[in-house]
A and B are shown apart, each in its own frame.
Chain A
Amino acid sequence: MLKLKFVIPLLLFVVLGMFLFVGLFRDPRVVPSPLIGKPAPVFALPSLQDASYPVDSKELLGQAWVLNVWGTWCGGCRQEHDTLLAIAEQGVVPMVGLNWKDDENLARQWLGQLGNPYAVVAVDREGRTAIDWGVYGAPETFLIGPDGTVLYKHIAPMTMDVWNREFLPRIEASRVNVGTRS
C-alpha cells in the first residue's frame, strides 16, 4: 500500500515527462492537415502557360499526382526547385504547380530560367484555391491518390529524402490499391 503511494506519482511524472520530451522535438510550424484522407478540393484555374486553357483538377482523377504550391516571392521554393526538377525527371507522377498569389510574368520568367518541373501550372492569383487546400506557407507539396483523396502533405522545401521516404512508398501503395479494386 505504501509502495503504491510512491509509484503512482512517479508514474504520472514519467508519463508527463514523456509527453513533454516528445513535444520538444515537434515543429510547431508544421500544422497537421485535416485534408489527409479526405477528397482533394477541386479547382479549375487558368494555366500559367496558356491562360485560355484551364487547369481542371477533375481531369487528374485515375492517377496519383502531386500538387506543389509555390511563388517567386518564396525563398523556400527557390531552395527546392532543383529537387523538383530531379523528381520530375523521374517521371513517376505528374507534378501540378499552384502558383500562389504571384506575378504571372515573374512566374513564367522563373520557369524559363530555372527549368520547369511542372506538367502544368495553375494560377491562383487571389489565393482562394490555396485556402481551400489549407495552404498557409509556401512551399507546400500534396500527394493525391488515383481516387482523388489527399494522401500526404509536406510543409517545407521538398528534399529527395522526403520524396523517397514519404511520397514514393505512398504512390506505390496507391497503385496496388487501384490494381486490386479493378
Chain B
Amino acid sequence: MHRYLCAGLVALLLAFAGQSLAIDTEVAFDDPALQHRYETINRELRCLVCQNQTIADSNATLAQDLRREVREMIAAGSTDDEIRDFMIERYGDFVLYRPRMTAQNFLLWSAPVLLLLIAAAVLFRVVRRRAQETDLETEGPEAGQP
C-alpha cells in the first residue's frame, strides 16, 4: 500500500518537474516557424549575468530583456544574422555560444588542422628514416655474407 502511494507521489512530482524547468513559458509567436527561430536563437545567446546559461535557460532580468529584444527583432522581420550581429555589437563575441571564426581566433580554429599536419609530417619523416635504416641493414656489406 505504502509502496503504491510512494510511486504515485514520485510520478506526480515528476509530472510537474518539467514545468519547473521551463523558464520562458509564454509562447512568443503563434507561427510555429517563428517560434522555432526564436527558441533556437535564444539557445545560442549567452546570458552574461549568469555566464554558463543561455538566455533561454535563465530568468535573470537581463535574459528577459534580451529575449524581448530577440522577439521584437523577429517580429520586425530581422534575419537571424542581424539579430546575432546586434548582440555581438553590444556584448562582443562572448555572447555567442557557438563562436565565430575571426581574425583574432583564427589560429585557435586552425590549430587542429595545423597539429594534424605537423603530426603527419613527423610521422612521414620517422617512417622514411626507419625504411632507410632497414634498407641499409639488408643491403649492407655484412647482410649478404653467410
Chain A residues engaging chain B, CB cutoff 8 angstroms: 28-29, 31-35, 101, 126-128, 130-134, 136-137
Q: Does B48 contact A (CB under 8 A)?
A: yes
Closest chain-B Cβ to A133's Cβ sits at a distance in Å of 7
Residues of B within 8 A of A133 (CB): 90
Residues of A within 8 A of B61 (CB): 101, 127
Name the segment of B5-13, B25-33, B62-70, B133-141 touching the other chain: B62-70
Smallest CB-CB separation from B94: which chain A residue? A31
Residues of A within 8 A of B65 (CB): 101, 126-128, 130-131
| Partner among A31, A127, A128 whose Cβ is within 8 Å of the Cβ of B91 | A31
Closest chain-B Cβ to A9's Cβ sits at a distance in Å of 11
Residues of B within 8 A of A130 (CB): 65
Closest chain-B Cβ to A4's Cβ sits at a distance in Å of 12
The 5 sampled A-B contact pairs (Cβ below 8 Å) are: A29-B51, A126-B65, A136-B49, A136-B62, A137-B62
The CA of A58 and the CA of B88, in the complex, are separated in Å by 24
Smallest CB-CB separation from A33: which chain B residue? B92
Kindly identify, within residues 94 to 114 of chain B, every residue whose CB is under 8 Å from any CB belonging to chain A: 94
The CA of A11 and the CA of B41, in the complex, are separated in Å by 42
The CA of A134 and the CA of B49, in the complex, are separated in Å by 12
Smallest CB-CB separation from A137: which chain B residue? B49
The CA of A176 and the CA of B30, in the complex, are separated in Å by 57
Q: A134-B90, A136-B48 are in contact. List 13 more A-B contacts (CB 8 A).
A: A28-B51, A31-B92, A34-B89, A34-B93, A101-B61, A101-B65, A127-B62, A127-B65, A131-B66, A131-B90, A136-B49, A136-B62, A137-B49
Instruction: Please determine whether A34 and B91 come into contact, CB atoms closer than 8 angstroms.
Output: yes
Closest chain-A Cβ to B122's Cβ sits at a distance in Å of 10
